[in-house]
Structure 1
Amino acid sequence: MEDVPGYVAGTFIAIVIALLGFIYYAVSYATPGKKNITSALVITLLVGWIFIVCVLVFEGFYTNLSGIPRIPITAGIAFSSILFIFIIPRSRALIAQMPITTLHYIHIVRIPLQMVLWWLAISKAMPMDVTFEGSNLDIISGISAPFAAVFLVGSRTKNRIGAIFWNVMSLALLIIFVRMAIGYTPYFYTPSLSNVANLAVFFFPYILLPTFIIPVLIFSHLVSLLQLFFKTDQSQY
Structure 2
Amino acid sequence: MLQVPIYLTVFFVLITFTTTALFWWVLKVSKNAEQQPKWSRLFLGGSFLWLGLQAFLSFQGAYYKHLNALPPRIAVLGLIPPLVVIVALFLLPSGKRFMDSLTLPSLTMLHVIRIPVELVLYGLFLAGTIPELMTFAGRNFDILAGLTAPLMVYWVWRPPAFRRNLLLVWNVLSLMLLLNIVIHALLAAPFPLQQLAFDQPNVAVLYFPFSWLPTYVVPVVLFCHLAALRQVY
**1:120 and 2:124 aligned:** yes
Provide the residue aligned with 1:25 in structure 2. 25
Contact 1:24 1:39 in 2 (8 A): yes
Tell me how far apart the structure 2 counterparts of residues 209 and 35 of structure 1 sit (CA, whole Å).
26
Runs of 5+ in structure 2 lacking a partner? none
Q: CA deviation at 1:156?
A: 6.6
Number of equivalences: 228
Provide the residue aligned with 2:5 in structure 1. 5
Q: Secondary structure at the match of 1:8?
A: helix
Provide the residue aligned with 2:115 in structure 1. 111
Against the structure 1 CA distance between its residues 154 and 42, is the aligned structure 2 distance closer, same or farther, given a 3 Å change threshold? farther
Letter matched to residue 67 of structure 1: A
Q: CA deviation at 1:17?
A: 1.0
Q: CA deviation at 1:29?
A: 2.7
121-130 vs 145-154, which moves further: 145-154
Provide the residue aligned with 2:145 in structure 1. 141
Runs of 5+ in structure 1 lacking a partner? 230-237
**1:72 and 2:79 aligned:** no
Against the structure 1 CA distance between its residues 226 and 35, is the aligned structure 2 distance closer, same or farther, given a 3 Å change threshold? closer
Contact 2:4 2:127 in 1 (8 A): yes
**In the TM superposition, what whole-angstrom CA distance separates every residue of 1:165-222 from its partner, at most 9, and x where no partner exists?**
000000001101111111100013357x441000000000110111111111110000
Provide the residue aligned with 1:180 in structure 2. 184
**1:131 and 2:138 aligned:** no
Tell me how far apart the structure 1 counterparts of residues 188 and 141 of structure 2 sit (CA, whole Å).
17
**1:40 and 2:41 aligned:** yes
Tell me how far apart the structure 1 counterparts of residues 157 and 179 of structure 2 sit (CA, whole Å).
23
**1:51 and 2:56 aligned:** no
Q: Percent identity at matched positions?
A: 28
Tell me how far apart the structure 2 counterparts of residues 205 and 52 of structure 1 sit (CA, whole Å).
12
Tell me how far apart the structure 2 counterparts of residues 155 and 212 of structure 1 sit (CA, whole Å).
35
Q: CA deviation at 1:153?
A: 4.2
Of the candidates 165, 190, 194, which is equivalent to residue 189 of structure 1? 194
Contact 2:89 2:95 in 1 (8 A): yes
**1:198 and 2:202 aligned:** yes
- Calculate the TM-score normalised by the size of structure 2: 0.92
Tell me how far apart the structure 2 counterparts of residues 139 and 50 of structure 1 sit (CA, whole Å).
24
RMSD: 1.8
**1:84 and 2:84 aligned:** no
Tell me how far apart the structure 2 counterparts of residues 101 and 227 of structure 1 sit (CA, whole Å).
12
Against the structure 1 CA distance between its residues 82 and 2, is the aligned structure 2 distance closer, same or farther, given a 3 Å change threshold? closer
Tell me how far apart the structure 1 counterparts of residues 211 and 139 of structure 2 sit (CA, whole Å).
22
Q: Secondary structure at the match of 1:215?
A: helix
Contact 1:152 1:163 in 2 (8 A): yes
Contact 1:108 1:145 in 2 (8 A): yes
Q: Secondary structure at the match of 2:101?
A: coil
Against the structure 1 CA distance between its residues 142 and 35, is the aligned structure 2 distance closer, same or farther, given a 3 Å change threshold? closer
